Amino acid sequence: MDALTAHLSVLGHGLVTTVQLTVVTTIGAMLLGIVVATLRISPVPLLRTIGTLYVEVLQNLPLLALLVLFVFALPQIGIQFPLFTSAAIVIAAYQGAYLAEAIRAGINTVGKGQAEAARAIGLTFSQSLRYVILPQGLRAVIQPIGNICIALLMNTSLAAAVGVVELTQAANNVNLVEAQPILIFTGAGLAYMLLALIIGQFTGLLERRLAIVR
Amino acid sequence: MNQTQQILFDEPGPRARRRIRIATVIGAVALVGALVAAVQQFASHGELAWSRWEPFTTWPIWRYLLNGLWATLKAAAATAVLSGVFGLLLALGRLSTNRLLRWLAGGYVEIFRTVPALLLIYVTLFALPAYGLNFPLFWKLVVPLVVSNSAAFAEIFRAGIQALDRGQTEAGLAVGLRRGQVLRLVVLPQALLQLAPSLVSQLVGLLKDTSLGFVVSYTELLYSGQVLSTYTHLLIQTFLVVSLIYLAVNASLSKFARILQARNGRLTGRGGVPAGPDTPADPASPSPEGSIAR
């Protein structure tokens, strides 16, 4: 137990970084997801193609390859951000593709009549999206979005591979000093499970509050 | 174009057509602008020079990268087979009538679904050797991936088995088959056929996971790229080429999953329209993408 308490500040700092990275990235990915999902259902063929390409490329590349490309290779052409920012941008871009697909699935569950009614009363494309389609579509996919957020939480650990000291890396660093791997890694694992549980509970709550009972 | 995407707009009239043209032009300008900016950024740092791309037209470099790809595929295949088997066993355990078995399998799945694979890799890299368990490099990558992916596979299998009509099991039992026989002869053949697309798209995720070989320093594709770039100092070129290889392999796998999905849609006759991943998420039949979030 001493190994954990003696390094509580390091582990705590790692935990805070993981939480920060998760929150920032979730918000970014959510916004990006809505934009890309909108592109994919827009009436403009070119925009649809761009949306489809984005999702195809980002879903078929390993997150770690993207992180390595962004953090190690892009400085070569003069594009460099602080490490945390880089990791946040890449993870948000990656999970944004998954969120876009989930949101699009939600939009597809909205009845055709809703969209037709919105058009019939004279709403434009963006108005019917904002006031009619998205509010209903998003509610239908709260659970899948929650699952993606949990995947996002687990994926923030990959930032460790490019040098961000988040929970996984902090656990590893403490282990190198203390050499009590079982205790330390179990502790870190429990922390991840706890965070995932919180996300799960939160989405469960949201779903009960917001779900439309048809 | 897919029909489901059309719900938000009618056949465009003259004004809508003009607006679509304007949006197309704006989109095209933005796209070209981004491309020009990227090319300029490359050019101003001298990364466009032919000497910096020329190595990627030579066979030795490609042989090295393709060896990396081969190692990636080997690791992915080993992980897929092992976690497929363990996943199926876990799913059956979770659905078994034995309470202890159900709890054990359920506990395993719930735990390893929420622990990052990288943490498990650190365990095999730094924790297990201290207890005398030092795997060869290949297994240092594959074992943790199997541990986490079998939990994902278990959930896919469970969803597929549960989605199957209960009547199938009941009919099997009614004609006098034992539980094991019902499972083997009636339930699994149907469930596996339904699950084929989800399983293939799980393969994409698994193949992406093998890039963690980068951390283990197992020379799969991504780590090969890293090694190559330390010799050639062609960082951005190498990682762009590596990304393109990943993209080619995974996009073909995803395409294959979509074809399987469309075929399944036809086989079960749901709707008659080829059910691509564009169809609304039907909770009963997991779509190739949505089933397990990555």
B191 close to B183: Cβ distance less than 8 angstroms: no
B141 close to B216: Cβ distance less than 8 angstroms: yes
Q: What CATH number does the domain containing A105 carry?
A: 1.10.3720.10
Closest CA to A117 of B281, B10, B18: B10
Report DSSP letters for B1-34, one per residue.
--GGGGGG--S--HHHHHHHHHHHHHHHHHHHHH
Neighbours of A207 (CB within 10 A): 16
Check the CA dihedral A213-A214-B4-B7 and report its sign: negative
- Residue A10 located in a structural domain: no
| Tens digit of each residue's pLDDT (9 = 90 or more) over B184-243 | 899 999 999 889 889 998 999 999 999 999 999 999 999 999 999 999 888 899 999 999
- Residue A107 located in a structural domain: yes
How confident is the model at residue B269, as a pLDDT? 55
B106 touches chain A (CB under 8 A): no
What distances in angstroms separate CA B96 from CA A32, B16, B51, one per listed residue?
Answer: 42, 58, 62
- Residue A51 located in a structural domain: yes
Mean pLDDT along residues B151-169? 90
- Residue A153 located in a structural domain: yes
Mean pLDDT along residues B53-63? 89
Across the interface, which of A63, A78, A112 has its CB nearest the CB of B7? A112
How confident is the model at residue B273, as a pLDDT? 39
- Residue A205 located in a structural domain: no
Closest CA to B152 of A151, A155, A26: A151
Spatial distance between the Cα atoms of A181 and A178, rounded to a whole number of angstroms: 8
- Residue A213 located in a structural domain: no
Closest CA to A94 of A118, A70, A62: A62
How confident is the model at residue B57, as a pLDDT? 87
SS3 B90: helix
B96 close to B102: Cβ distance less than 8 angstroms: yes
A120 touches chain B (CB under 8 A): no
Given a cut of 90, whether residue B72 has pLDDT beyond it is: yes
B290 close to B14: Cβ distance less than 8 angstroms: no
Report DSSP letters for B160-205, one per residue.
HHHHS-HHHHHHHHHTT--HHHIIIIIIHHHHHHHHHHHHHHHHHH
Best mutation site among A41, A76, A125, A203 for testing chain B: the one with the most B CBs within 10 Å? Answer: A76
B12 touches chain A (CB under 8 A): yes
CB pair distance less than 8 Å for A79 and B41: yes
Average per-residue pLDDT for chain B: 85
| Tens digit of each residue's pLDDT (9 = 90 or more) over B229-239 | 999 888 899 99
How confident is the model at residue B289, as a pLDDT? 40
Query: What letter would DSSP give residue B274?
Result: -
A4 touches chain B (CB under 8 A): no
Closest CA to B163 of B278, B268, B42, B30: B268
- Residue A90 located in a structural domain: yes
Closest approach of B112 to chain A, Cα-based (Å)? 9
Across the interface, which of A44, A73, A172 has its CB nearest the CB of B236? A73
B87 close to B157: Cβ distance less than 8 angstroms: yes
Query: What letter would DSSP give residue A61?
Result: S
Q: Which CATH class is domain B56-268?
A: mainly alpha
Best mutation site among B41, B119, B273 for testing chain A: the one with the most A CBs within 10 Å? Answer: B119
- What's the number of domains chain A is made of? 1
Given a cut of 80, whether residue B287 has pLDDT beyond it is: no
Mean pLDDT along residues B64-91? 95
CB pair distance less than 8 Å for B114 and A157: no
The b-or-e profile of B255-278 (16+ CB within 10 A means b, else e) is ebbbebbbebbeeeeeeeebbebb
Domain boundaries, chain B: 56-268
- Give the DSSP H/E element, type plus range, for residue B264: helix B235-268
How confident is the model at residue A9, as a pLDDT? 85
ipTM: 0.88
Find the residue in A nearest to B217 (Cα). Answer: A161
A54 close to A97: Cβ distance less than 8 angstroms: yes
* Radius of gyration in angstroms for the set of CA atoms belonging to chain B, rounded to a whole number: 24
CB pair distance less than 8 Å for A193 and B111: yes
In chain A (214 residues long), the average pLDDT of successive 10-residue segments reads: 74 93 96 94 90 94 95 88 94 96 91 87 88 91 92 94 92 86 89 94 91 68
Query: Angle B220-B225-B227 (CA atoms, 0-180°, nearest 5)?
Result: 90
Across the interface, which of B41, B247, B277 has its CB nearest the CB of A61? B247
Best mutation site among A60, A99, A150, A192 for testing chain B: the one with the most B CBs within 10 Å? Answer: A60
| Tens digit of each residue's pLDDT (9 = 90 or more) over B94-129 | 988 899 999 999 999 999 988 999 999 999 998 888
- Residue A180 located in a structural domain: no
Mean pLDDT along residues B118-146? 90
A41 lies in which domain range?
A: 17-165
How confident is the model at residue A196, as a pLDDT? 94
Query: What letter would DSSP give residue B286?
Result: -
B280 touches chain A (CB under 8 A): yes
